[in-house]
Amino acid sequence: MTTQEKMLIGGRWVDAASGETQAIINPFDASVIAQAAKAGAEDANQAIAAAKRAFYENGWGETAAPERARLLNAFAGLMEKGAEELARLETLNTGKALIESQCDVADSIACLHYYAGLVNKPLGHTYSVSDPAVCGFSVREPVGVCGMISAWNFPISLAVWKIAPALAAGNSIVFKPAELTPLSAIRIFEMLEKAGYPVGVVNLVTGPGRVVGQTIAESEDVDKVAFTGGIDAGRHVMRAAAGNMKNISMELGGKSPNIIFADADFDAAVDYGLFGIFYNQGEVCSAASRLIVENSIYDRYLEALVAKTKKIKIGNGLDPDVRMGPLISEEHMNNVLGYIELGVREGATLACGGKRVVKPGYEKGFFVEPTVFTDTRPDMRIVREEIFGPVVTLQRFDGEEEAVRLANDTSCGLAAGVFSSNISKAIRVIRKVRAGITWINSYGPVYNEAPWGGYRQSGIGRELGISGIEDYTEVKQININTNVAPTGWFD
């Protein structure tokens, strides 16, 4: 039996004004697991109005730091109590392995505690000016009404990465989850309400991005929009947000390199080569979809990578032994398979994988084999364009200069990795790679304390860390004259 899910607007759980709903699908077997409210512009505008009242009229924007911290910790406590239910729901809705969903929930709880701890920490500065009678300092104040548009690949994590710093800073929010994966967001907002947030501070609107997201981005009553998604969608959000020149932050796509030098720990480099691309079925913005391998170990590395790739257990994410689930939707699966066909036509060699998994019990699911391409060229579309699936390309290099050139041959700049036992070389190379999130002798870990975001077309602003809360504030300078007297300027 499917559930009927509502939206939270102005302290009330409501259906869409139109009465429309959208079927929510389990990617494992294409079964309908819920019906979610399919909001329109009217619903989005009601949520924005509620958030505006809460912030500007009902006092939330002036809430003291200890109270904001208390509410965040209360929310975290409710997530802890419901962690297993949240993780299971996340796997049902996204298809990802349960162990991944459990990690996402645990990391999100830690994120909430992190920002609760930051609420009363210094975020301003004092400064000296030319007039010794003036005492100057800056403070950070909440932006106001924050519209949030999130993606489907990490529904819980991406929601909390936005919600936690925004509420910590004292903003009110209107959150729109991806239309494919709203279920965990709905449970999160039930917890936010139970935690005790005042009416209108937290609002949830479920529905299509082209309507709900567009309305949020265009609204002159929204002071900031935070978006996670594809580059093309990000451009639409930027254009819509230009109407009132609202504050924007964006985490977009990537085509991230992982450079493997011959002197690397070989087993670790192979292991992270798999983890970097096949974790979460490759549906990761920072996925290491380009393996750049030093020529002297290329053949050995390819052989080891393929052997391990063939052993990855694919299946129902609820199976505790599964490490790779289905892709999010039939449409996305077909898009990934289309890229694989394109790679073959472009002349790349399919080292393993490349097909839909249709063995008994999997026929209705959206499974794609983990896929490795070799004999690639930098001009190939499978090397240049984000596939967002379990597809990795291998490229050869000789020397640091060529490795850096290949790594930077992209319009994106989200993430990058370097594997080498020579730490001086590794640091030298990583400093030359144009990417915002980097690892040396590792790939993929996310730390709540560190800024997350990219260069070039990979985004604007940063999430997580101190940067994450700063992106939800405005800076105000305050200058106090301690020698009060007329200026005499016009005398």
Indicate if 179 belongs to the active site.
Answer: no
- Map tokens 């139970």 to a residue: 194
* CB under 8 A, 24+ apart: contacts of 135-140: 135/479, 135/480, 135/482, 136/477, 136/478, 136/479, 136/480, 137/477, 137/478, 138/475, 138/476, 138/477, 138/478, 139/475, 139/476, 139/478, 140/169, 140/470, 140/473, 140/474, 140/475, 140/476
Six-digit token string for 482: 């301690």
Phi first, then psi, for residue 130 (nearest 5°) are -70, -25
Give me the helices (H) in 53-154, please: 65-81, 83-94, 98-118
> Residue 23 belongs to what H/E stretch?
strand 21-26
Residues 406 and 425: beta-carbon distance below 8 Å: no
Six-digit token string for 163: 């919600």
Indicate if 220 belongs to the active site.
Answer: no
Distance CA(75)–CA(322), nearest Å, equals 30
Six-digit token string for 140: 């950070």
Distance CA(91)–CA(144), nearest Å, equals 34
Residues 274 and 309: beta-carbon distance below 8 Å: yes
Closest of 373, 214, 244 to residue 302, by C-alpha: 373
Position 258, amino acid? N
Six-digit token string for 4: 């009927």
Q: Calculate the CA 42 to chain-centre distance.
A: 27
Closest of 408, 412, 417, 416 to residue 459, by C-alpha: 412
Residues 181 and 34: beta-carbon distance below 8 Å: no
Contacts of 384 (CB under 8 A, 6+ apart): 255, 378, 410
Among residues 90, 100, 146, 285, which one is catalytic? 285
Sign of CA dihedral 449, 450, 451, 453: negative
Among residues 100, 251, 283, 386, which one is catalytic? 251
Which DSSP letter does residue 198 get?
A: P
Q: At what angle do helices 83-94 and 98-118 cross, to 10 degrees?
A: 120
Six-digit token string for 294: 């030093």
Q: Which amino acids are annotated catalytic?
A: 251, 285
